[in-house]
Structure 1
């Protein structure tokens, strides 16, 4: 059977679809399943900020839990599947296709060529989508607040609103969980050289937190959609988060995750900024519905 790159539907508010099995691979711990299309979002092997979707599939009258979902790459000349961090090539490498790998408990009951029904856990995906979109809104708000007095010289990087991009410079990790996002920032020597008054930021952290939360509350009053601009239907095609927050420019952020579709999906977004030590700040973003 000819194997093609997975067509993705996780940015299309699609939680169930029929698909054809293109590849099944077994090991002692799991069965890997690749289909021609999927509504499941896999965890990225490069920047694993957004967890894999949960859900199930139905085949031949039986139901199987999808216990994980990962990115895979298949070498077309050999049919060899590489999963997650062992993928040896970059996206769009010649002779390779990137796929979504549905991970099941070991089973011999599913065969290549079968048509199956894939069903994402909708509520779980929506909770991750809210958490991820809230993280974007929070860092845009933080960037804006810090741009108003905490940089002593012009920064080369600007965010989608034209503010100094503290998030891009300082972010070390970002992790999405249901209705939450945790970002970790490092305020090191390099960032100070670029112009951030990090000592002032730390001393004013609670005031900054309050200003960020006021700005988020103002943004959430807007009757505005959040859209995903997908430049293709495959896993490796670029996708962009877009929202008009009334800042003069529409916010456009490259992002491969799933997201809320409207600001009305948030009752509130509250940020807490925590000084872990002299160089590390955490931003905890929490959603209420």
Structure 2
């Protein structure tokens, strides 16, 4: 069977924890594992372009496979031009490039008997998905609250976030990692950010900043606001956005991850900061922690 020529249909944006699909292709990998491509899946994969949220955990089960269920060891975005398959950062093109198919590669043990043509049920670990979804939602909220807190630190006009505040998060972010019930975001404040008009002195009292961010987060969580992922196109390359009805209005942030359905899932969200000064630049790490209700 040839490689798929159309993108994988994905169900995770709507919160699905299970799916049934057909194995379109099996690719043996150099490390002894195998990549299983399905026509439809509920598994959230890592996207090498912005690998902030880890892959789902779960199993793949086929009635025709004697070793089912098979553990899902990883899930990554793959690309194919119809003649070869490229996993993760090995892809030579950006996601969405015309003439290419973009697929969820389900990585399993190479000894598994899953094969092309099998009908496979994907079952996602619900607690791990919940924890990552909560962490991703908390990450967005914390970034918005941080932008609001630092709004007066800018001497020039810059791009704004979904809530209308100067977008420190987007302009200074170096890396973002979603973890169960939280996130770790690293910001770099160097010459380029100073030229844009940001005052580094605004970061001198990180405890005060944390207190202000926490105050905003507490007020938002208390609203139990609705939140969701808007996904008008069901394929992997479809544009998606996280939306939330905050007190000052609805915010919408482009996002390919998973999220919780409302802020009433949280008992609290809080942040802490660490600072490092090196080579003329400031690195600030924000750690966000959410507590489920």
Q: Are 1:150 and 2:153 counterparts?
A: yes
Pick from 186, 189, 193: which aligns with 1:187?
A: 189
CA distance in 2: counterparts of 1:187 and 1:93, whole angstroms: 33
SS in structure 2 at match of 1:214: helix
Q: Partner of 1:234 in structure 2?
A: 235
Counterpart among 61, 64, 78 of residue 58 in structure 1: 61
> Could you tell me how far apart the structure 2 residues matched to 1:266 and 1:213 are?
13
**1:48-197 correspondence runs (5 A):** 48-59=51-62, 60=64, 61=66, 62-76=68-82, 78=83, 80-107=84-111, 109-147=113-151, 149-155=152-158, 157-197=159-199
Between 187-196 and 133-142, the greater mean CA deviation after superposition: 187-196
Q: Report if aligned partners of 2:8, 2:38 keep a CA contact under 8 Å in 1.
A: yes
Gap regions ≥5 residues in structure 1: none
After superposition, the CA RMSD in angstroms is 1.3
Count how many residue pairs are aligned between Structure 1 and Structure 2: 283
In structure 1, what is the equivalent of residue 250 of structure 2? Answer: 250
Partners of 1:271 and 1:124 in 2: CA distance: 21
Instruction: Report the Cα offset of residue 231 of structure 1.
Output: 3.0
Runs of 4+ in 1 over 6 A off after TM superposition: none
Aligned-pair CA distance for 1:107: 2.3
**In structure 2, C-alpha distance between the alignment counterparts of 1:108 and 1:288, rounded to whole Å:** 38
Distance 2:211 2:194 in 1: 23
Q: Confirm or deny: 8 A CA contact 2:227 2:262 kept in the other structure.
A: yes
1:173: Cα distance to partner? 0.3
Cα distance between partner residues in 2 of 1:229 and 1:47:
19
C-alpha distance in 1, partners of 2:40/2:14?
13
TM-score (norm 1): 0.94
Equivalent residue, structure 1, for 2:10: 8
Residues 285, 113 of structure 1: CA spacing in aligned structure 2 closer, same or farther, 3 A cutoff?
same
User: Structure 1 residue 197: deviation in Å?
Assistant: 1.2
Report 1:209-220 matches (<5 A). 209-220=210-221
